[in-house]
Amino acid sequence: MSEKADVWQGTLALMILKTLEALGPLHGYGIARRIEQTSGDELSVNYGTLYPSLLKLEQEGYISSEWGLSDNKRKAKFYSLTRTGRTQLEQEARQWEQTTAIIARFFAPAGDSK
């Protein structure tokens, strides 16, 4: 079970970083909603997994957090991407694309050359 959770943590971190890059600074609820929406509601995000992931990213210096005001003047804690976070995202995204391309080759029908 823990192995699956680790993989999930890894991809969750990627999703968080991508979300912050795409939408800019966002609070915890916003990140969760966005991930749910982007996955077509396939994934349901529990704070029990989201928050440790956010913590790890913050401790590693990829994101930073700050209390601020939301659109409707509500106090919320906003997370944003740091510069190292941005570089890390690019690196991870590239690696992810490479991995999927290789795997895809295995599952391509025989005779296909790419």
Partner 1 sequence: MKTLRAFFLRLMALFNRRRWEQDLADELESNLQFAIDDRVRSGMSPETARRDALLHYGLPDSIRESYRDRKSLPFIETAVGDIRYATRMLRQSRGFAVAAILSLALGIGANTAIFSLLNALILKSLPVERPDELVQVNMPGRSSIFTNPIWEALRDRQDVFSGVFAIGSSRFDLSRGGESRFVDGDWVSGAFFSTLGVKPVLGRTLAVSDDRRGCPALAVISYDFWQREFGGRSDVLEQPLSLDGHPFQILGVLSPGFYGIEVGRAPGVYTPLCAEVIVTGTGSSLDRRSHWWLRVFGRPRAGVLLQAAVARLQVVAPGIFRDTQPPNWRPEDLKEYVSRSFELQPASHGTSRFRDEYRTALYIMMAMVAVVLLIACANVANLLLARAANRAREMATRLALGSSRSRLVRQLLTECLLLSLAGSLLGALLAWSGAHAIMPLIAVDGRSPFLDLAIDARMLLFTMGVAVASTMLFGLAPAWRSSAVAPHTALKAGGRGMVQGHSRFTLGKSLVVAQIGLSLVLLVAAGLLLRSFNKLTTLNPGFDRDGIVLARVDLRGARQAPENRPALYRELLDRVRSVPGVTSASSSDITPVGDSMWNDEIRVDGFQPKSAKDSVVLFNQISDRYFETLGTPLLDGRDFNEHDTVQSPKVAIVNETFAARFFPGTRAIGRTYRVTGGPVPDPATEIIGIVKDTKYRNLREQPEPIAYVALSQESKLGPFFHLEVRSAVAPGQSVAALKAALAQLDPALSVTFVTLSAQLDSSLNRERILAVLSTFFGGLALLLATIGLYGVMAYSVERRRGEIGIRMALGAGKTKVLRMVLQEAAVLLVIGVLAGMAIAAATTRFVSTFLYGVDASDTATFTASAALLAAVTLIAGYLPARRAASQDPMSALREE
Q: In terms of CB distance, is 22 or 51 closer to partner 1?
A: 51
Residue from 66, 60, 53, 52 nearest 87 by CA = 60
- Cβ 74 to partner 1 shortest distance, Å: 6
Give me the DSSP letters along 24-43.
-SEEHHHHHHHHHHHTTT-S
The residues that touch partner 1, with contacts defined as CB under 8 A, are 27-30, 32-33, 44-49, 51-52, 55-56, 59-61, 70, 72, 74-77
- Cβ 87 to partner 1 shortest distance, Å: 12
